[in-house]
Amino acid sequence: MAATDQSPVTKGYQPITWNFKLLAHDMLGGFGGMGEGMSVQIAPDGRRIIWLAHESAPKNFTAVDVSDPRKPKVVCQTDLPHANMRSNSLETCGNLMAVAYQTSKKDLQPAGFEMFDISKPENPKSIGFFDCSGPHSRGVHQLWFCDGEYVHCAAGSRDFTPTHPQDDQFYRCVDVRNPSKPVEVGRWWMPGTRQGDNVMPPARHPIDKGFRAHNTNVYPQRPDRCYLAYIDGGMFVLDISDKANPKKISSWTNSPPYTGFMHTIVPLFDRGLMLVTDESTENNAKDWPKLIWVLDARDETNLVSISTCPLPDHKIYAEAGRFGAHNIHENVPLPTSWQNDQIVLGTFFNGGLRAYDISNPYQPKEVGTFLPPAPPGAPTGTIQMNDVFVDERQIVYAVDRHVGGLYILEMDF
């Protein structure tokens, strides 16, 4: 479908390519179930490598040479130590990579994050490990590593006993300046979620996904702030100027009346705005609506919701798999990441990849959709688009959660 100014109207669920151009699609050797870790490295030999986390075992991570985005080439694909774990999140910084390990049950190993030397992409070398295992811990679900010095992560710990089994991961800041010997420097959790806290545990949501940390974004524009998503606990702005003693500045939530699982916070510093996403975690849109929210963040102590990014009628998408918001391009502070505060790109599971113009933050407008056919072997019979990353060339990379692997696109807006 050619580029237009108006979103196509669909009758029923059907593939759409509107204002995107597909350059390449790679099923990643039959292991195309991808997580939410995507990071682009310029290797010492000049090749452009995108590193991809897998949704679940047996694979750990995959490296793809995308120097020519029309001809991607897998150069490395590694296995996890066992099937009862996943490595859903990773980040690179220069020739270092941090990979998160979360186990399916508590008190299993390895649970934490591993540091790799990726100067030779075909042969990543383990150089350090930070252990987060314990009787009440599943390890690390998500991490943020952009400055070469600190890993900010959603993690459990051997010495943390939650008040509810689902509240087992919290914010931890780990010094990796010596990547062979990571050391925790600070932590913060939502009051009431740890046994021994002097406040009552939070009331559970009807669809209970847990009061625990998810994304832990930190940006160089405000290195003294952590923008922390806390699933059913909403989101928090933390003061981390003293990394040993993070302090809450403010919080915001939409749930109730919405259904929780706050996932990502991306501040748009020059505009005084903040993007906040929920995650759809229930099939057949049972947790609808799951949205991208736009907040007025000019006063970080008083965050105000001013709009959401529009979505089509969920009934069209409710028959198979998940439908609703998940990941957005996060303006990761690396030279290989596109920086933009006017366009939002997000993944919506069976709603595909969607782009929004937020130049008027009170009226976000959809300007592009990429909804491919179900990849061969898709268990839901649909795409389940899981994550998106845009490099500084404005090449878009999106991945499927189940089997579809990597899609590489150009923007046409």
Residue written as tokens 């991306």? 266
The full set of domain ranges for the chain reads: 34-339
- Kind and range of the H or E run holding 354: strand 353-357
Candidates 339, 383, 406; CA nearest to 69 is: 406
Give the end-to-end CA distance of the chain in Å, rounded to a whole number: 13
Mean pLDDT in residue range 323-345: 98
Candidates 199, 289, 186; CA nearest to 228 is: 186
**Per the structure block, which two tokens stand in for 164?**
């509810």
Residue written as tokens 């688009």? 385
Q: pLDDT class for 357, splitting at 50, 70, 90?
A: very high
CB 368 within 8 A of CB 5: no
Sign of CA dihedral 220, 261, 163, 55: negative
Q: What is the pLDDT of residue 12?
A: 60
CB 209 within 8 A of CB 219: no
Question: φ and ψ at 293, to 5 degrees?
Answer: -100, 145
Return d(Cα 55, Cα 384) in angstroms, integer: 12
Sign of CA dihedral 98, 399, 55, 142: positive
Q: Residue 308: exposed, middle, or buried by beta-carbon count in 10 A (0-12, 13-18, 19+)?
A: middle
> How many Cα atoms occupy the beta-carbon half-sphere of 133 within 13 Å?
13
**Residue 330 CB contacts under 8 Å (≥ 6 apart), including other chains:** 217, 264, 266
**Per the structure block, which two tokens stand in for 98?**
């941090």
- Residue environment code for 15-46, b if the CB has 16+ CB neighbours within 10 A, otherwise e: ebbbbbeebbbbbbeebbbbbbbbbbbbbeee
- Residue environment code for 121-152, b if the CB has 16+ CB neighbours within 10 A, otherwise e: beebeebbbbbbbbebbbbbbbbbbbbeebbb
pLDDT tens-digit map of 158-190 = 999 999 999 999 999 999 999 999 999 999 999
pLDDT tens-digit map of 32-47 = 999 999 999 999 999 9
> What is the number of other CB atoms lying within 10 angstroms of the CB of residue 359?
12
**Residue 188 CB contacts under 8 Å (≥ 6 apart), including other chains:** 170, 171, 228, 238, 246, 247, 248
Residue 8 has pLDDT above 60, yes or no: no
**Per the structure block, which two tokens stand in for 5?**
């100014």
Residue written as tokens 């009170």? 362
Mean pLDDT in residue range 117-132: 98
Return d(Cα 194, Cα 368) in angstroms, integer: 43
Return d(Cα 376, Cα 47) in angstroms, integer: 30
Q: What is the pLDDT of residue 148?
A: 97
pLDDT tens-digit map of 220-267 = 999 999 999 999 999 999 999 999 999 999 999 999 999 999 999 999
Is the entire prediction scored with pTM above 0.85? yes
Candidates 327, 316, 13; CA nearest to 142 is: 327
Q: In Å, how far from its chain's centre is CA 245?
A: 25
Pairing, β 262-268 against β 247-252: unpaired
Candidates 208, 209, 215; CA nearest to 327 is: 215
CATH of 34-339, one of 2.60.120.10, 3.90.79.10, 2.130.10.10, 3.40.50.300: 2.130.10.10
Mean pLDDT in residue range 142-171: 98
Residue 50 has pLDDT above 60, yes or no: yes
**Per the structure block, which two tokens stand in for 186?**
């600070």
